[in-house]
Amino acid sequence: MSGFLISGDNALLGLIMSLLGVSRKSLSDSVDRALVRDVALVIGFALALGASAQWKAILPGNPIPMTMQTAVVLLCGFWLRPRLALSAVCLYFVLGMATAGGFSKMPFFAAYRAGVSTATLGYIAGFLPAALCVSYLIRQMKQVTLPRVLAVGAIGTCIIFAFGVAWIAMTLTNVEGAVSMGLLPFLTPALIKLCIVAAMVSGGKLVTGMIRS
């Protein structure tokens, strides 16, 4: 009896696939291609996060470098589904810790060195919820417009700064010192990066085409 049911299910599946014009082989190939694409995107964004950590500007008397990482985190959230965005940031963090452990000479964190800086650990931890939040929120919108992209990107940026400033306040100084050290000098650059990313997402055919994939 169970064999008959399985056979019937297979026949029904075959009928549906034939009506859709999809063969079993092409369905398998499609799944394989999607998996390969997802893996490539996760690895690509993890590497992009590592590379963007090296594009830095050092502020006098400030242990926190100015990098392009927040822009990449936002792009990661806009471009990838929540699970993939989270995976990309986690992979970046794992690769960064691996370099700190001596597995590689390739620096993945800021300041051209391996390892985690005490001052920047909060920002790095904030990458995870920021990418996840941006990815989730943008996919709840029926229409992706520039104001909405700016709003979602601003939320993601605020999450990163909230984690970063809170960590500095707990480990290095008080709240006032953390704000002056970890927030105020970076507000204008963060706004510029947000506008650039928002323009790419709302106006770029390639990026917007990936948003709901």
Asked whether the predicted pLDDT for residue 186 surpasses 80, the reply is yes
Dig out the tokens for 206 from the structure: 């390639």
Asked whether the predicted pLDDT for residue 135 surpasses 70, the reply is yes
Dig out the tokens for 41 from the structure: 């995107």
Rounded distance between C-alpha atoms, residue 51 and residue 72, angstroms: 10
Return the closest-CA partner of residue 189 out of 44, 59, 86: 59
| Distance set, CA 95 to CA 2, 89, 158 (Å) | 48, 10, 25
Residue 23 vs residue 49, higher pLDDT: 49
Proportion of the chain above pLDDT 70, given as a percent = 71
Asked whether the predicted pLDDT for residue 7 surpasses 60, the reply is no
pTM of the model: 0.76
Q: Domains plus CATH for the chain? A: 21-210 (1.10.1760.20)
For the stretch 73-102, pLDDT in tens is: 999 999 999 999 999 999 888 887 776 554
Rounded distance between C-alpha atoms, residue 59 and residue 61, angstroms: 6
Rounded distance between C-alpha atoms, residue 29 and residue 67, angstroms: 39
Q: For residue 25, what pLDDT is reported?
A: 55
Residue 121 vs residue 109, higher pLDDT: 121
Rounded distance between C-alpha atoms, residue 3 and residue 106, angstroms: 56
Asked whether the predicted pLDDT for residue 37 surpasses 90, the reply is no
Q: What residues contact 126, with CB distance under 8 A and at least 6 apart?
A: 159, 160, 161, 162, 163, 164
Residue 113: strand pairing partners: 109
| Distance set, CA 149 to CA 21, 25, 140, 195 (Å) | 37, 39, 12, 9
Asked whether the predicted pLDDT for residue 207 surpasses 70, the reply is no
Dig out the tokens for 161 from the structure: 């700064």
Average pLDDT over residues 193-208: 76
Q: For residue 102, what pLDDT is reported?
A: 46
Asked whether the predicted pLDDT for residue 23 surpasses 70, the reply is no
Among the ranges given (45-59, 64-78, 193-207), the one the predictor scored with the smallest mean pLDDT? 193-207
Rounded distance between C-alpha atoms, residue 68 and residue 48, angstroms: 10
Dig out the tokens for 156 from the structure: 């993601």
Rounded distance between C-alpha atoms, residue 103 and residue 111, angstroms: 19
Binned at pLDDT 50, 70 and 90, residue 206 comes out as very low
Q: What is the mean pLDDT of the chain?
A: 78
